[in-house]
Amino acid sequence: MKNCILLIFFGSLLMVSQLNGQTNASSDVDNAAVGLGFGLDYGGMGVNLSAYPMKDFGVFIGVGYALAGVGVNGGAKLRFAVNRPSPKVTPYLLAMYGYNAAIVVTNKTSLNKLFYGFSAGAGIDIRPRKHPAGYWSLGVIVPFRSSKVDAYFDDLKYNHGVEFQNELFPVAFSIGYKFKIK
């Protein structure tokens, strides 16, 4: 099932990038950006550096604090409707690989652990003013976690007596402010 979802997602990315291949010289759309925020695409609580070799397609890396250690993610971002002269809201899709689960055990940091895997999401970039120096980015990300995460949860419960106050959410949210780099 996961392979089918991945195939559909990447096929859609390729098809849309081919359809949006024409570019427009808009000064409101960034070629590169550095952002501060929260979410998987920021490595937890951290920094996101994005570069767009095409107006509608970019790559990014996020590095931050992920409660159980340093979180790192890298991936691709596909923007829609950037051919308009001054887009105020730009929807996007993203796909990335990196940290997608953090298990934190209070008073026993040796049991803290990060898990890595594929994640995909969607969101919007919001530019409230004409020709802004930066913009807000909001997203929802679905982490595809491996069975190792559940196995570690079970190991901590049954072999280490850990009682969990919270379960992992099936989706993650992302919010950050990005500064355009000319």
User: What pairs with residue 21 in β-bridges?
Assistant: none
The domain that holds 130 is classified in CATH as 2.40.160.20
Are β-strands 113-126 and 172-181 bridged in parallel, bridged antiparallel, or unpaired?
A: unpaired
- The pLDDT, as a whole number, for residue 24 is 39
Domain that holds residue 68: 2-181
Residues of the chain with pLDDT under 50: 1-26
- Whether 179 and 48 have beta carbons less than 8 Å apart is answered as no
- The pLDDT, as a whole number, for residue 127 is 86
**99-109: per-residue pLDDT in tens?**
999 999 988 88
Q: Output the average pLDDT for the chain.
A: 83
Angle at 64 between CA 73 and CA 138, to 5 degrees: 70
Q: Which helix (H) or strand (E) holds 141?
A: strand 134-143
What is the total count of domains within the chain?
A: 1
How far, in Å, CA of 17 to CA of 50, rounded?
17
